[in-house]
Amino acid sequence: MVGHVVNPAGERSGATGSGGRRSRSSTSQFGTLGLHIADPRVESSVLGLLDSVEADLRSSVASADPFVTEAARHLVEAGGKRFRPLLVALGAQFGDPAGPQVVPAAVVMELTHLATLYHDDVMDEAAVRRGAPSANSRWTNSVAILVGDYLFARAADIAADLGPEAVRLQARTFARLVQGQIAETVGPRAGDDPVEHYLRVIADKTGSLIATSARFGGMFGGAAQEHVEALAGYGETVGVAFQLSDDLLDIASESTQSGKTPGTDLREGVPTLPVLYALAADDSDAASVRLREILATGALSDDALHAEALGLLRESPALKRARETVRSYAEDARARLAPLPQSPARHALESLCDFVADRTS
């Protein structure tokens, strides 16, 4: 249920090991997220946990029916950044990362996320997901929906082994995901501020699952309750920041840094934050007026209008304001880490804040 939301992504930064040498394994795992883990022991712990998650993901979606197994493994095998398991792994560093329930908790989070992607592709009529044909295009919409349901059920089954609190949290997170999708589908109601509505949608659709991932890491690693709450607050805020920064990359990047062709949201009429700021502006200069005229038409299938709007947006006060909003969320996420002890894991989480604030500058 994540609609057009893009997984937290990026390109340039990589983690370094001892002596400042770049670690090949950490570069491949963490480089696209701008994550730095300076302590080799913590890095090894996180990488080991992610390897275990990867293996368990494949076994957890197996079914007695070979077709169900094939369809359920479709997106598992397509890869992904495993951002949510990564936050479980980092959260667990504030307790015992080798706790027996940490890996299952990470699997629950990733299965829940993968389930939403099957449903998203149906709603978005997507043909491709992670460089491979989407489940709905390879099979049918009905199969994609049912496989998403199957993954939700598998996640709930594993969560049941973690205890009633895990089941409750996973269910509440799922409820927020669905609530956010409904809110996006219905759109702002009369009297709603479109920007506030959009930020609530992102918090529900993206921030909620990332928050629960960080919470699960702390919980099942046995961290202090104060630290668990700090991790959850951080996860939600940094998740929103990442999504908002993807909105900006869709407009500001000249390459495929955002994981899709620049201007895709604009062409499809998706009202991202810079567009909402531009539509709400009352600037009377010719460029702002012209930009509002074009954006008010919705989806921009005409290449000339699309190029004109993209150029105007890149030079607009709306884009600058959106950058300031992203930086504000990144700084808020960093502030939420204050209760946590100074440690390599905390510094790694802070590096994500730096990355998300800088990637759209």
The pLDDT tens digits of the residues spanning 1-21 come to 333 333 343 332 333 333 333
339 has a pLDDT exceeding 60:
yes
Say what the pLDDT of residue 25 is: 43
Instruction: Look at residues 219, 301, 304, 216 and name the one whose alpha carbon lies nearest to residue 266.
Output: 301
CB 298 within 8 A of CB 315: no
Percent of the chain whose pLDDT exceeds 90? 56
Cα distances (Å, whole numbers) of residue 155 to 180, 227, 235, 265: 20, 25, 20, 31
pLDDT at position 66: 84
Contacts for 311 with CB less than 8 Å, ≥ 6 apart = none
More confident residue, 290 or 6: 290
| Range with the poorest average pLDDT among 76-90, 101-115, 271-285 | 76-90
What pLDDT is recorded for position 101? 97
pLDDT band at 129 (very low <50, low <70, confident <90, very high): low
Based on C-alpha coordinates, what's the Rg of the chain?
20
The least confident of 142-156, 160-174, 328-342 is 142-156
Half-sphere exposure of 216 (CA within 13 A, CB side): 33
Q: How far apart (Å, rounded) are the C-alpha atoms in residues 318 and 295? A: 13
Residue 332 clears pLDDT 70, i.e. is over it: yes
Task: With cut-offs at 50, 70 and 90, classify the pLDDT of residue 135.
Answer: low
Q: Which residue has the higher pLDDT, 262 or 267?
A: 267
pLDDT number for residue 131: 60
Compute the 3-state secondary structure of the chain and give helix, strand, coil in percent, each to the nearest 5: 70, 0, 30
Q: Which of 77-81, 112-116, 210-214, 310-314 has the lowest mean pLDDT?
A: 77-81
Tell which residue, 255, 269, 248, has the closest CA to residue 313. 248
CATH class of the domain comprising 36-223: mainly alpha
| 30-87 confidence digits (pLDDT tens) | 666 778 888 899 999 999 999 999 999 888 888 878 877 887 777 777 767 889 999 9
All CATH 1.10.600.10 domain ranges of the chain, comma separated, are: 36-223
> Going by C-beta distance under 8 Å and a sequence separation of 6 or more, which residues neighbour residue 326?
241, 244, 245, 248, 356, 357, 360
